[in-house]
Amino acid sequence: MKKVLGIGNALVDILVNVDDAMIAGCGLQKGGMSMIDAERKRALHAQLQDVPQVCATGGSTSNTIHALARLGMPAGYIGKVGNDEMGDFFRREMERFGVTPHLILSDTDTGIATTYISADGERTFATYLGAAAEMTAEELNPDILSQYDLIHVEGYLIFNHDLILRVCQAAKAQGLLISMDMASYNLIEEHYDFVEMLLRDYVDIIFANEEEAKAFTHKEGVEALQELSKYCSVAIVKVGKEGSFIQINGEITKVEALKADCRDTTGAGDIYAAGFLYGYLNGLSAEETGKLASWLAARVIGYVGAKLPDEEWEQVPIKQ
């Protein structure tokens, strides 16, 4: 079976259900995402000390790799965490679900993404990148890549040009496929020329939602998909409730979204990517691959957080 490696911001997700008054009291804008420093993180967590919390490994690529491991695919992960309790938690959780952690340790606190979930399902984020933001190109051990067939690169690493370029160069030198999730339309706009170079010279599989695809191609829907396909042999554009479009070597497949009871959209795109990569690497048809990805995404939004419970994994419709 093919082996998949991921690299990204290693974060611990802390999810809390709160009312709008608490969000305002924490000085956060409902529905927004605030990047915070260590002092602000500690202050916010002090305000939440009596609120029930759910903790899980987080970060976009970490979520994808976790789901691939749950599907039974051999998987590993590269990230940087603090030499602290949260860093130990991240490692233990990875190992518990079958992921091989290739973690770099730091004296800086482990990154934490706190998600405030309102009664209406709206999510407000306070993200402390911590050790995750310190990962450098020099810390990457290229020998790790030789153990894998594909590396999934987190789009949020795009700001770190040296790191992401070294990863892609090492992957190509060792014959790995490269998949990437665009992650954020803001980053695409800010680093457009660099992203274009990555897609043109390195990336084989690209995932984008509507906003990200439009930011890069200035087009929408199928037209955006076709533009992305000029760069990558496999392109996926997710269009929310309308489903997704997949183009593999010039052939377009439309995948319908499944009806779902939406409680929290955290991780929907990440687990979609896992379903797609699993199907693609195991030789499933584009239609079967898309259906698996869509099924997983529809299931995960029915739960709080980016992880599916055990009983859902037992019902996965396409599994080898």
Give yes or no for a contact between 246 and 256, defined as CB atoms under 8 angstroms apart: no
Domain boundaries, the chain: 4-9+60-110+135-181+258-313
**Mean pLDDT along residues 152-170:** 95
The answer, yes or no, to whether residue 9 has pLDDT greater than 60, is yes
What pLDDT was estimated at residue 10?
96
The model's pLDDT over 15-67, given as tens digits with 9 standing for 90+, comes to 898 999 999 998 998 888 788 999 999 999 999 989 999 899 999 999 999 99
pLDDT of residue 319: 55
Q: How far is the C-alpha of 195 from the C-alpha of 182, rounded, in Å?
A: 9
- Summarised one tens digit per residue, pLDDT across range 184-204 is 888 899 999 999 999 999 999
Residues contacting 284, CB < 8 A, separation 6+: 292, 318
4-9+60-110+135-181+258-313 CATH: 3.40.1190.20
91 — pLDDT class (breaks 50, 70, 90): very high
If pLDDT is split at 50, 70 and 90, which confidence band does 81 have? very high
Instruction: Determine what percent of the chain is predicted with pLDDT higher than 70.
Output: 99
Mean predicted lDDT score pLDDT of the chain: 93
Residue in the block written with tokens 């290739």 = 102
**Overall size of the chain counted in residues:** 320
Tell me the whole-structure pTM to 2 decimals.
0.92
Task: Name the DSSP class of 233.
Answer: S
Residue 125: its pLDDT value, please?
Answer: 87
The confidence band for 179, taking pLDDT boundaries of 50, 70 and 90, is very high
Note whether 57 and 66 are within 8 A (CB): yes
Confidence of residue 135 (pLDDT cuts 50, 70, 90): very high
- Residues 141-147 have a mean pLDDT of 95
CA angle 110, 116, 120 (to 5 degrees): 155
